[in-house]
């Protein structure tokens, strides 16, 4: 498929903005994937190309946090491995599972995530009580959310973030860094399946990836500099916008009601 220069530049610019917000609060894919569809890219090629640029951005964000020694590699690498495996399994299962359940439940979960962060005024200032063992989180939660990313995707970073804060008791900045590591891992897992299928449009994917990396670096730096006072409101806003978009796009009854107003 040939991509016009103007279209490529427009999509690359969108990827830069998506990479910036994704590094802080997640949700970049809900900007870039519809943009690829609007540009007339085949759905499978759009998903594969989008996963490549998303993987590039998330890996770039991980490197930015790692340079500041914000990544706990000792505890994180087993989770990352199983998150990668979950992403692979999810991507392989796209044609086997009914996505309707995910399309209906994802907006509800995203609203719950937004409410959780909005109603916890002290969230991010200190660590909280750990409710799940690290082993259980590694064996169950990490691959489960990774699977969700491979088969569907919207809100994966936000789900990882609330899992780290609610279940492992991490403070917000620690949860951002941990969730970005696992998000990058499941992105790469799903990408490996798409790449093997040969569906990626490489010129477009490389251009978008380069801009997404720049955006992710800027977003990671903003997150480190401003901390919870930037992350919390942005995370709540992104979750609500993602939920609203999913409600409107997927024929959800609530979305149909909203369209009338």
In a domain, 55, yes or no: yes
In a domain, 150, yes or no: yes
Q: What is the mean pLDDT of each run of 10 residues along the chain (261 residues)?
A: 82 90 75 80 82 91 90 94 96 74 69 73 64 95 94 81 90 89 95 82 93 92 77 74 70 51 48
pLDDT at 218: 92
Report whether 211 contacts 13 (CB < 8 A): yes
pLDDT at 179: 93
The number of domains in the chain is: 1
In a domain, 260, yes or no: no
In a domain, 257, yes or no: no
In a domain, 256, yes or no: no
Q: How many CA atoms lie within 13 A of 244 on its CB side?
A: 10
Q: Using CA atoms, how far apart are residues 134 and 144, in angstroms rounded to an integer? A: 15
Paired strand residues for 126: 123
The structure's pTM equals 0.80
Structure tokens at 226: 């401003």
Q: Using CA atoms, how far apart are residues 31 and 78, in angstroms rounded to an integer? A: 30
Question: 201-206: long-range contacts at Cβ-Cβ below 8 A with a sequence spacing of 24 or more?
Answer: 201/1, 201/3, 201/41, 201/45, 201/48, 201/49, 203/3, 203/8, 204/3, 204/8, 204/11, 204/41, 204/49, 205/48, 205/49, 205/52, 205/53
Q: Using CA atoms, how far apart are residues 220 and 225, in angstroms rounded to an integer? A: 9
In a domain, 40, yes or no: yes
In a domain, 255, yes or no: no
pLDDT at 258: 46
In a domain, 93, yes or no: yes
Range of the domain at 218: 5-250
Paired strand residues for 123: 126
Nearest residue to 174 (alpha-carbon basis) of 185, 161, 156: 161
Q: How many CA atoms lie within 13 A of 195 on its CB side?
A: 13
Report whether 175 contacts 72 (CB < 8 A): no
pLDDT at 257: 47
Give me the numbers of helices (H) and strands (E) for the chain, helices first please.
12, 0
Cα pseudo-dihedral 207, 208, 214, 217, rounded to 10: -140
Chain-centroid distance of CA 228 in Å reads 19
Q: Using CA atoms, how far apart are residues 73 and 254, in angstroms rounded to an integer? A: 42
């Amino acid at each position: 498929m040939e991509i016009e220069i103007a279209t490529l530049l427009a999509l690359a610019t969108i990827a830069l903005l998506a990479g910036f917000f994704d590094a802080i609060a997640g949700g970049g894919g809900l900007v870039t994937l519809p943009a690829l569809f609007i540009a007339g890219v085949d759905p499978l090629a759009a998903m594969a190309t989008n996963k490549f640029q998303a993987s590039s951005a998330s890996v770039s964000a991980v490197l930015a946090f790692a340079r500041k020694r914000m990544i706990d590699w000792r505890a994180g690498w087993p989770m990352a491995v199983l998150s990668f495996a979950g992403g692979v399994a999810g991507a392989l299962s796209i044609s086997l599972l009914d996505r309707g359940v995910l399309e209906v439940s994802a907006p509800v979960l995203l609203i719950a995530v937004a409410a959780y962060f909005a109603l916890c005024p002290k969230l991010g200032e200190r660590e909280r009580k750990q409710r799940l063992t690290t082993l259980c989180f590694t064996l169950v939660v990490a691959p489960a959310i990774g699977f969700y990313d491979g088969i569907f995707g919207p809100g994966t970073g936000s789900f990882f973030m609330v899992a780290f804060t609610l279940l492992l008791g991490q403070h917000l900045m620690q949860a951002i860094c941990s969730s970005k590591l696992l998000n990058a891992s499941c992105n790469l897992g799903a990408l490996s399946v798409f790449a093997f299928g040969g569906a990626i449009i490489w010129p477009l994917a490389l251009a978008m990836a380069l801009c997404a990396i720049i955006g992710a670096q800027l977003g990671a730096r903003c997150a480190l500099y401003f901390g919870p006072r930037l992350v919390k409101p942005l995370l709540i806003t992104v979750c609500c916008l993602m939920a609203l978009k999913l409600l409107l796009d997927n024929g959800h009854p609530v979305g149909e009601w909203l369209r009338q107003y």
